[in-house]
Structure 1
Amino acid sequence: MLVHVSLLVGNGFDIQANLKTKYSDFYKYLRETALHSESLNDNTIYKEINKMHTSDKYYEKWSDFEMGLMSLTQEVNDESGLSDEKLFVDKMEIETHLTEYLKSIEQNINVEKEKDKIIEEFSRSASLLFLSLRDLNRDQIGNVLKLNNDVKTMHMNILDFNFTSLFKDSYELMEDNLASVRGPIGNSKLGIPMKKHEYIKVHGSTSRNMNLGGNDSTQLGVKMRDSRYSFSFIKPELDKAIAEKSYIRGKKALQRSSVFFVLGMSLGESDKNWWGEIANQLLRREKSALVIFSYHPDEIITNNGPYHKLEIDRIIDKFSSYFSDSKRDALEKIQQKVFVVINSRLFNLANMDFDEVNE
């Protein structure tokens, strides 16, 4: 018997590796670029986010920026004078700057330089995907999944939401046999071999088809919904338009999986398609579970029991909000299958030296 698992990887992985890929890092780059760019200073999106950052409503995460972009589409109307074409062109300009910025970060990364350390860290992390849970949660997920000696192997599907290539380049250093996933998981104390299965760059990369925007057309302004450019603001529609099939492949990976791990993602509304899909799978599959690896900068959240529980409840409530079924018993069934690990430090490349050696 084999079990499929899916690992969804977000920008938190890059941040943990000390890459300057936060939205705030990019905004700083834009401000510096705007000092000598006439077109950027006339860019509707840049002017809007610059205005936001001079108030107390600045964006903290990429998902905030994406939802801010969707809010800006509501300004496309006759009264404002903002046309759909102007907003489209401005979005393309922002994405060009984002590509240039992220490429400047990537050009200094050489994973081969730290190959042995990366392989060791990725193998360690893959083996601890369940053991990183606290004791009670480990028992609970074991009871949910009921993994036993019949499970001969786990197949790993990666859904990489980053534009950067660090996780993919690091993962490709690994052999097809990733690790022996350690227990105990329920009554099983045996290590279960985990093997590579499929790797999906969900939102493209710095070299190909970067996909930035919202989740669906309901997040667009009314005028923008009928625009010829609307597809470029909706990530599933853009993926379909460029025939990449990343969303199709990603959803198929989730549908064949019974265990889901989320690493370094904020559970934002711009990606709520994915959270709803996982929730549906948790309801559909009797033996299924979700583990969310979350980071919090305040160590009191990790070490203080009441604060720890409140943060876990907040994360589970946020995930549950994307479940469309209004039946209370269905929601409770899903919530019993969601587990949160705070500050696990898995897949941690913080101490690696990636800089290229210039000869």
Structure 2
Amino acid sequence: MEYSDYLDAYRNHNSSVEKFLVSKNDTSLEINQQHNIMVLVGNGFDIDLLQRYGTQKIDGRNVLTIYQDFFKECMLAMGKDENKDNEVILDFVNSIFFKELKKRYKNRDKNWADFESWLPEITNNYTIKELSDGLNSLQSCFSFFLDFVVNRDVKHIINQIAQQRKTNLAIRSLSCFLKDLSEEEYKTLFFPRTTAYKDIFNYLFVNFNFTNLLDNYIYLDKNAFDIHRDKYDIRNFQFYPNPKSCPTIYKGRTNTKWINESTSWSSILHTRVIHPHGQQSIPRSLLFGADDESLEKNRRESRFDKEYWTRYSIEYEKLFSQTQLFIIYGSSIGESDKWWWKEICSRLAKNYGSYPSAELIVYSYRKKFDKNAFVKKYVKDSKERIRVSNRIHVREYNNSDQNVFLSFKS
């Protein structure tokens, strides 16, 4: 998989609609540069949304797409003989994964519900059949759980919120996300200096969630977004390079020496969402597993390795060399997805100090993000750690309403 080269597409007038606009209205097709932005989104986004708009309850609070709530729902469902899905649930509660969950829950283990973190520990305790059958039953049962939590009422609510035209949350997220950075972080960010009029902003969302809640939120429908909004120009998007009016001299690609919150680049926008770990709408695609070196030793254990099934290097490795800006949002940045963090760090270490060097923005929820620990874990060469650390910018927040990016505050 590679980023599409929209520069050539537009310059060659590949679209029949654009050919018509050019011939009839003397439309401008001048395009300068393409910016590839990879956004990696974890379960924090779904949790935030369901806490606000979820319809199912446990102990008076909304049920979330987390393993703790999944376990509790399975326990509750066991006593409901009339449950139509009882066979699927019983199949799972008789599996080794449910037994391990229950044991760790009773022992009050710290990560009792995060079976992906302790999966490598139990591979030698069971047969391949027991482990495979357990994962299959987990897959089926979790699919039912997702349909229960992310039901049609929730989908309708998020659809209504996302399609509001006056305060379109998706457009605001994509155009003004730099407003979330502090002045100190913004001053050291190289990305806005590379942007200018007539650029293409190409967003690739890597959705680690099984649900399509993010897809719904970010989808640019015809009422909120017109791909040809101007009769005489194909540009359809305004990007704000300094939406917070940070007091810094702007030495970029244009002749503008100073930009502020009113400055915007008339540009072109593209978005795409991928689900490397499967989607709720395709139950058998849900991927559970770990990303651990111990699982790579032989074929027996590699069957429970995420990278083995997703073929990360084949499917996604090429994307990193073409990415200019990475954004991590709503993710615990844990070991189960460490392949992604290693690839990001590898990219940050290259072309340091000059374009097209890459950068990373991390949204850290209710805790301080330890850049040094992150870099030390995923960058082997000690000489590269300082340069990688300098390319990481952190946004700490306690509530998504404090953000512009992927928030629900209109």
Structure number with bigger Rg: 2
Aligned to 1:72: 122
Q: 1:38 to 1:12 in 2, by over 3 A?
A: closer
**Deviations 1:11-44 (CA, angstroms, capped at 9, x unpaired):** 1111111251122221211222344655434311
User: Which of 288, 295, 315 matches 1:212?
Assistant: 288
Structure of higher RCO (CA pairs closer than 8 Å, 6+ residues apart): 1
**Deviations 1:212-247 (CA, angstroms, capped at 9, x unpaired):** 11114x23397xx342xx45411121124xxxxx76
The alpha carbon displacement at 1:325 in A equals 2.3
The alpha carbon displacement at 1:288 in A equals 1.6
Rounded Cα–Cα distance in structure 2 between residues aligned with 1:221 and 1:56:
30
Rounded Cα–Cα distance in structure 1 between residues aligned with 2:344 and 2:392:
10
> What's the secondary structure of 1:294's corresponding residue?
strand
Aligned to 2:5: none
Is the counterpart of residue 120 in structure 1 residue 168 in structure 2? yes
**Deviations 1:100-119 (CA, angstroms, capped at 9, x unpaired):** 11122232212443343387
User: Which of 97, 100, 116 matches 2:144?
Assistant: 100
State the superposition RMSD in angstroms: 2.8
Is the counterpart of residue 196 in structure 1 residue 270 in structure 2? yes
How many residues align structurally?
316
Is the counterpart of residue 47 in structure 1 residue 88 in structure 2? no
Aligned to 1:272: 338
Mean Cα displacement is larger for which, 146-155 or 132-141? 146-155
**Deviations 1:23-69 (CA, angstroms, capped at 9, x unpaired):** 222121122234465543431111111111122314277xx431112
8 Å CA contact 1:202–1:250 kept in 2: the answer is no
| TM-score, scaled relative to structure 2 | 0.69
User: In structure 2, what residue type is equivalent to 1:14?
Assistant: D
Rounded Cα–Cα distance in structure 2 between residues aligned with 1:164 and 1:247:
24
> What's the secondary structure of 2:204's corresponding residue?
strand
User: In structure 2, what residue type is equivalent to 1:50?
Assistant: K
Rounded Cα–Cα distance in structure 1 between residues aligned with 2:385 and 2:295:
28
| TM-score, scaled relative to structure 1 | 0.79
> What's the secondary structure of 1:215's corresponding residue?
coil
> What's the secondary structure of 1:339's corresponding residue?
strand
Q: 1:112 to 1:58 in 2, by over 3 A?
A: same
The alpha carbon displacement at 1:324 in A equals 3.9
User: In structure 2, what residue type is equivalent to 1:215?
Assistant: D
Q: 1:281 to 1:332 in 2, by over 3 A?
A: same
> What's the secondary structure of 2:168's corresponding residue?
helix
> What's the secondary structure of 1:275's corresponding residue?
helix
Aligned to 1:27: 71
> What's the secondary structure of 2:378's corresponding residue?
coil
Q: 1:291 to 1:179 in 2, by over 3 A?
A: farther
> What's the secondary structure of 2:331's corresponding residue?
coil
Aligned to 2:214: 167
Aligned to 1:132: 180
Rounded Cα–Cα distance in structure 2 between residues aligned with 1:266 and 1:220:
22
Q: 1:255 to 1:85 in 2, by over 3 A?
A: same
Is the counterpart of residue 292 in structure 1 residue 362 in structure 2? yes
8 Å CA contact 2:170–2:218 kept in 1: the answer is yes
User: In structure 2, what residue type is equivalent to 1:181?
Assistant: F
> What's the secondary structure of 2:307's corresponding residue?
helix
User: In structure 1, what residue type is equivalent to 2:360?
Assistant: L
Aligned to 1:349: 408
Q: 1:149 to 1:170 in 2, by over 3 A?
A: closer
User: Which of 298, 321, 337 matches 2:391?
Assistant: 337
Rounded Cα–Cα distance in structure 1 between residues aligned with 2:43 and 2:210:
9
8 Å CA contact 2:39–2:203 kept in 1: the answer is yes
Mean Cα displacement is larger for which, 183-192 or 336-345? 183-192
Q: How do residues 241-252 of structure 1 correspond to structure 2 at under 5 angstroms?
A: 248-252=314-318
Q: 1:121 to 1:30 in 2, by over 3 A?
A: same
Q: 1:40 to 1:154 in 2, by over 3 A?
A: closer
Unaligned runs of 5+ in 2: 1-32, 55-63, 81-88, 228-234, 253-258
Q: 1:221 to 1:202 in 2, by over 3 A?
A: closer
**Deviations 1:127-155 (CA, angstroms, capped at 9, x unpaired):** 2222210001101113x764253772321
Q: 1:281 to 1:258 in 2, by over 3 A?
A: same
The alpha carbon displacement at 1:250 in A equals 3.2
Determine what percentage of the aligned residue pairs are the same residue. Answer: 20
8 Å CA contact 1:323–1:331 kept in 2: the answer is no
8 Å CA contact 1:291–1:339 kept in 2: the answer is yes
Q: 1:74 to 1:338 in 2, by over 3 A?
A: farther
